[in-house]
Amino acid sequence: MFSAKSSGRRTIAARLTAIAVGVSAAALAIPAAAQASPVTVWPNGPVIEVPDLPGLQVPTPPTKPQQQQPKPSTPQQAGVPAMPNVRTSTGWIALAQDSNHTIYWWKDGNFVKSMPISMGSDAHPTPNGTYHTMEKHRSMYMDSSTYGVPIDSPEGYRTFVEYAVRMNNGGIFIHAAPWSVESQGVTNVSHGCINVSTDNGRWVYENIGTGSAIVVKGTVGGGTWKTPRTP
């Protein structure tokens, strides 16, 4: 026969065994998410929770290919001719192009602006060549008698002008000519000067200093005018 003490010991041992089994079962029942690694998010994909298990290789998210910037299909200065390669003491260079009656301006090699012009008519063409600006006048009278044409003759004139910048000693200026705005950019109607609008004449007067180069190209004037070189 078993004694009461033996029976009690077996009961206590059984209880301890049950408690140990219960603890092990509880440990195995803990969700894997409790031991999961930080959430991994793939671009344009689902959220994936990767368990922190030994030996598990976490795939590297695919990288997007670097997008290249598209190249411009047209030049940034479409329609602008090449800057003339001439000397200038101010950094300013201009090209007065007769083919489209336009003058283009560059500063230190960078294109700045263009403006419509009207140069000398076929009867009084503006000579082709390179000019360098000389003096300038806020306002003045232009008188044909200064180059031998009496003001009372059919070809004579005495005209008040504003924003006049002298290009040579032969009476050629670039100046405001509001009376020829409709012809500017279209045809040549002046006596040899470069006509521009009042606003454009003001811009030239305020920005273009002595020694700036102005190249006249494509007129029927022929020849190559060159102003005397200055020191």
Which residues, in sequence order, are bridge partners of residue 158? 143
Q: Which amino acid is residue 167, in one-letter code?
A: M
SS3 state at 164: strand
Residue 123 lies in a domain: yes
Residue 103 lies in a domain: yes
5-22 pLDDT, tens digit per residue, is 555 555 555 555 555 545
Residue 13 lies in a domain: no
The single-letter DSSP state of residue 155 is T
Which structural domain range is residue 121 located in? 92-223
200-209 pLDDT, tens digit per residue, is 999 999 999 9
Residue 165 lies in a domain: yes
Alpha-carbon span 6 to 219, nearest angstrom: 131
Residue 149 lies in a domain: yes
Inform me whether the pLDDT recorded for 187 exceeds 80: yes
Max mean pLDDT range (52-61, 101-110, 146-155): 101-110
How does residue 39 score in pLDDT terms, banded at 50, 70 and 90?
A: very low
Residue 182 lies in a domain: yes
**pLDDT of res. 131:** 97
60-96 pLDDT, tens digit per residue, is 656 655 554 444 333 456 789 999 999 999 999 999 9
**pLDDT of res. 145:** 80
CATH assignment of the domain containing 117: 2.40.440.10
Alpha-carbon span 116 to 63, nearest angstrom: 54
Residue 42 lies in a domain: no
Higher pLDDT pick, 164 / 4: 164
Alpha-carbon span 102 to 100, nearest angstrom: 6
Percent of the chain surpassing pLDDT 70:
63
Half-sphere exposure of 210 (CA within 13 A, CB side): 7
CB atoms within 10 A of CB 230: 10
Residue 121 lies in a domain: yes
**pLDDT of res. 9:** 55
Three state DSSP letters for 110-147: EEEEEEECECECCCCCCCCEEEECCCEEEEEEEEHHHH
Max mean pLDDT range (20-24, 38-42, 94-98): 94-98
Higher pLDDT pick, 47 / 212: 212
Higher pLDDT pick, 125 / 62: 125
- Active centre residues (catalytic): 175, 193
How does residue 196 score in pLDDT terms, banded at 50, 70 and 90?
A: very high
**pLDDT of res. 65:** 55
Domains of the chain: total = 1
